[in-house]
Amino acid sequence: MLSSLSYSLMAEQDLNEVLSIEKEVFPHPWTRDFFRLIIQDASNYILTLKQGKNIIGYGGYHLLKNKTNFLYTKKIYTRFIHLINIAIRVPFQKHGFGTGLLSLLMNNAKTRNAEYCYLEVRPSNTKAFRFYRNYGFSVIGIIENYYPQDKENAIVMGMELASLIET
């Protein structure tokens, strides 16, 4: 799946293509300045996925080292990640590239001793919800009015990383 592609840490020179993907995939795309903040923060791990020289997707997470208890697990985690985004250009969706990218991110997080991953997804984004559910994420909560531009809640999903098999 990813053998014909390459990936690398996102850099400033990638931002034009990344912003193009943002506009193609999301109703409220992130800004260049926001991406600059993300790539400058050492707690973030964000990759671009390339076919040849063209970026076809990106994804990343923020590593947190705060002591946290996600109520449904009844466990205390000291290292966990917040999956901040995964985006694949529309013509490349449904070919396994998103799953491959997510696996790269999760496996990297495990090498950094992360124990848990959580994310937010719009209820209206049923495609993303199914993608994460099929990967093994469970619903752990709702955040009301998380997306204020659309007055939409967020479904919070999570999973323990110990259950992952490296791919």
Percent of the chain with pLDDT over 70: 91
- Quick one: three-class SS letters along 71-113? CCCCEEECCEEEEEEEEECHHHCCCCHHHHHHHHHHHHHHHCC
Q: Which residues contact 165 (CB under 8 A, 6 or more apart)?
A: none
Fold topology of 6-163: Aminopeptidase (3.40.630)
Q: What is the pLDDT of residues 85-104, one digit of tens each?
A: 999 999 999 999 999 999 99
Q: How many Å apart are CA 88 and CA 97, to the nearest integer?
A: 7
Q: Can you give the pLDDT at residue 164?
A: 73
- Mean pLDDT, to the nearest integer, of 10-39? 95
